[in-house]
Amino acid sequence: MPMNRDQLEALTERDVREPIPSELLQQALSTPPFLPVPELINIRDLGAVPGSGVRPGLVYRCGMLEVANQNPEALDWLAANVKRVFDVRSSAERGKHPDPEVAGVANTWLESAGAHTPPDLNDFVEAGGEVGLRKEYLKVLDLYQPIYRAILEHVRDKPEESFLFHCTAGRDRTGVMAGLLQSLAGTAPEDVRFDYMLSRIGTEPARERLLQQARAGGGSLAFEQHRGFYNLCSLRTSCWDAFVAALQEAHGGWEGYVVGALGFSSDDLARIKDNLSGRGD
């Protein structure tokens, strides 16, 4: 039986150090917006999020897309549902774990605008990591402008071609892009935030692997023992809200970022919003 929103929200607040019981996890992953695609981590339809303004079946998100290379069912799902994949990762990540090549599905990757430097764990100590996450997500908005711009160009120019975008976990870089698309589609802020928090559930099948990657990224035991480490690895509504407030201050909000940083015109912006929501049909 699918879960209701309150039940899902309760699971999103679970400490990242605590596993979600298998029975609850399977129930949650059987609930929209999650999709029953074998092996794919954190796979969701943006339009199936409660309150979403995005057209269902247009935009998908996930993490660890490379695992589809070992699963014919996942490859079949991609071939049947997606016309283009946007890879929101670094060249090093892409080199180690390449995306699948699927007939009829185009792959797009663009070099980021600069190197993504490791986060400063000292920024994640206070207030559940608000300062650190705010800095990291503003950095994401700067570094990944090329691929973010390409995604919005696709929405503007090819509104009938469904697409999927992903990073490694499908959580941070993917979560920021999802927040942008949801907001442009007219999704209410509380529903955008809910979509962001669902990654706590979606990444659970790979939780230990992702934590190990985070530990390895620090290069020493002291990194994991730092008081900010688990705040870096966690998701909190307060941190998302802190980022959105910083976005407003730095760019004038999501629309200001699209026009001012990504270089779209006001006409482009209007078309993107209509194409996401279907209002222009």
Is-cis flag, bond preceding 33, omega within 30? yes
Q: Which pLDDT belongs to residue 221?
A: 54
Q: Which pLDDT belongs to residue 213?
A: 87
Per-residue H/E/C for the chain: CCCCHHHHHHHHCCCCCCCCCHHHHHHHHCCCCECCCCCCEEEEEHHHCCCCCCCCCCEEEEECHHHHHHCHHHHHHHHHHCCEEEECCCHHHHHHCCCCCCCCCEEEECCCCCCCCCCCHHHHCCHHHHHHHHHHHHHHHHHCHHHHHHHHHHHHHCCCCCEEEEECCCCCHHHHHHHHHHHHCCCCHHHHHHHHHCHHHHCHHHHHHHHHHHHHHHCCHHHHHCCCHHHHCCCCHHHHHHHHHHHHHHHCCHHHHHHHHCCCCHHHHHHHHHHHHCCCC
Q: Which pLDDT belongs to residue 1?
A: 85
Low-confidence stretches of the chain (pLDDT < 50) are none
Domain ranges, ordered by start, for the chain: 5-277
- Measured in whole angstroms, the distance separating CA 174 from the mean position of its chain's CA atoms is 2
Q: Distance (Å, rounded) from C-alpha 173 to C-alpha 52?
A: 19
Q: Which pLDDT belongs to residue 279?
A: 78
- Residue 224 burial by Cβ neighbours in a 10 Å radius (0-12, 13-18, 19+): middle
Decide which of 3.40.50.2000, 3.40.109.10, 3.90.190.10, 1.10.600.10 is the CATH code for 5-277: 3.90.190.10
Q: Which pLDDT belongs to residue 219?
A: 54
- Residue 96 burial by Cβ neighbours in a 10 Å radius (0-12, 13-18, 19+): exposed
Q: Which pLDDT belongs to residue 215?
A: 84
